[in-house]
Amino acid sequence: MSSPFALGTLPAPVVALAGSADDTAPLVVLLHGRGSSEAEILALADHLPVGPAYAAVRGPVPAGPGFAWFANRGIGRPIAESLEQTMAWFRGWLDGIAPAGRPVILVGFSGGAAFAGGLVLQDPARFAGAAILYGTLPFDAGVPHTPGRLAGVPVLVAQGEQDSVIPRELLDATWRYLLDESGATTRATRGAGGHGLTAGSLAELTAWVADLIEAMGAGPTVLTAADCASPADHART
């Protein structure tokens, strides 16, 4: 079902923080799903490596009991003007907390995955990596997705075989683009399960973040005791 949309002033960012307080540490930005909030997805940081700073940002668009990253014209299909506006809003916040030289890793779930995908497709050089978890790239929303667009960018894509929330054609197009066309250095996991993180996909995410941090030379990575525990579904669609 499509959503009404009108350009307007977006609220000031609401951000929940965890992990390192060092403002030069690699920054992992957690992007929740549609109808969820920053408080829910911040819990994911408990399962991820110690060392980075974690920032969970609230989407600027009210949606049901929570918030979203853009107005849409159907699940996984952003309205281009809305996505353009919210990406500019996000970049304004990000440039303040992570000036040039500070590595930024995006981790997006569902609607947050589409938003993360839009950000990295818009400016691949800005980000040290992007995790596209149980969501789609924002196709047909004004963001370039030409062959080779993400050349050399580390990407993690995770999907559930029984996901009945994100349209299957969008999941398949995302999988195909990231593995075959984008040029990204893509790690992919697709397993049994529906629209939510599993113990297996969480372990993949933890290892992927740890590998990126190690490659940055940011020091040894220590995993939390909860690194492979099965989390609650921290975000909605």
Cβ pair 80, 141 in contact under 8 A: yes
> What confidence score (pLDDT) does residue 191 get?
87
> What confidence score (pLDDT) does residue 100 get?
85
> What confidence score (pLDDT) does residue 7 get?
63
> What confidence score (pLDDT) does residue 16 get?
97
Count of CB atoms within 10 A of residue 148's CB? 11
One-letter identity of residue 109: F
- CA 27 – CA 19 distance, rounded (Å): 9
Architecture of domain 15-215: 3-Layer(aba) Sandwich (3.40)
Segment 150-178 mean pLDDT: 96
Residues 6+ apart with CB under 8 A from 122: 87, 143, 144
Segment 139-162 mean pLDDT: 96
> What confidence score (pLDDT) does residue 236 get?
40
* pLDDT tops 70 at residue 103: yes
* pLDDT tops 60 at residue 175: yes
Angle at 213 between CA 229 and CA 236, to 5 degrees: 45
> What confidence score (pLDDT) does residue 104 get?
98
Domain ranges of the chain: 15-215
> What confidence score (pLDDT) does residue 210 get?
96
Confidence of residue 231 (pLDDT cuts 50, 70, 90): very low
* pLDDT tops 70 at residue 232: no
Q: Among 10-24, 36-50, 206-220, whose mean pLDDT is lowest?
A: 206-220
Cβ pair 124, 150 in contact under 8 A: yes
Query: What does the pLDDT look like over 56-95, one tens digit per residue?
Result: 999 999 998 999 999 999 999 999 999 999 999 999 999 9
> What confidence score (pLDDT) does residue 204 get?
95
* pLDDT tops 70 at residue 124: yes
What is the pTM assigned to this prediction?
0.90
